Amino acid sequence: MREITPGSIVSSTQYGYLKVPKKVRTQCPGCRKQGEFSLKANFYQIKTGVFSEGICSVCKKPSTFILMIKEDSSKQTKEVTIHVYDPTATNGPLDKIQDNKRISQDLVRSYRSALNVNQSNDHSATAVMTKRVLESLVKNLNTDKAKSQTLSEQFEQLPKNVDLSSPIQTLSQLTRPDTPFFQMLELEKEVDDKTAELLIELLEGLIDYLYVVPEKIETIKQKIEKKY
């Protein structure tokens, strides 16, 4: 389920005090192109949520949308939020971090805002929110002393305050000859479905950490330097 941000709502119909999205622009779950969807639903039936179908303007295939009423009890207002059913949709890292107790809610919030403003094609707001996320990241991981420093200085401090080698240390412990993990690799211990999945997950994480992430950051740096 992927939320459609207010910026992607092309038109709405007013039902009393409720503004209900009528036409939205979003990535089609079928053809993956940016399509426009006109929604058909009997909006008088909306209580907590209602399903609606919309036909993609590009591939003409139907997708399912869900309209929900969100109540803001502090402001005593109601608004309609709209989501598209997209089986392949994930919020990327957001899905992984939002329940993580070590990560501050401030960071989760600013990252979510960055995703939202980007989806609404607001480039300046995306830049502003990116800065907020970067600041939030280093602020959370650095010591108090570092907090008055510039963003660049704070990143420089980061490896002193965060043990970036700890995943590798953990692997070193994990692969000692006397561990169940090593015995599995040597087929001295049986490996079930769940454990086999964990092994592959471990490989993916490790390859990401050692190769994919460093290369990605370097490539992004080069692309930005080339452009400006």
CB of residue 55 vs Zn ion: minimum separation in angstroms?
Answer: 9
Measured at the CA of 71, the angle between CA 65 and CA 74, to 5 degrees, comes to 150
**CB-wise, 64 or 161, nearer to Zn ion?**
64
**CB-wise, 36 or 135, nearer to Zn ion?**
36
CB of residue 13 vs Zn ion: minimum separation in angstroms?
Answer: 23
Q: Which residues pair with 35 in a beta bridge?
A: 26
Phi/psi of residue 227, each to 5°?
A: -80, -30
What are the E-state strand segments in 103-152?
Answer: none
CB of residue 120 vs Zn ion: minimum separation in angstroms?
Answer: 20
**CB-wise, 6 or 30, nearer to Zn ion?**
30
Chain mean position to CA 32: 18
**CB-wise, 66 or 206, nearer to Zn ion?**
66
- Residue 126 CA: distances (Å) to CA of 15, 41, 119: 32, 33, 9
What are the E-state strand segments in the chain?
Answer: 2-4, 9-15, 18-27, 34-40, 49-56, 62-72, 77-84
CB of residue 64 vs Zn ion: minimum separation in angstroms?
Answer: 13
Site residues, Zn ion (CB under 5 A) = 28, 30-31, 35, 56, 58-59
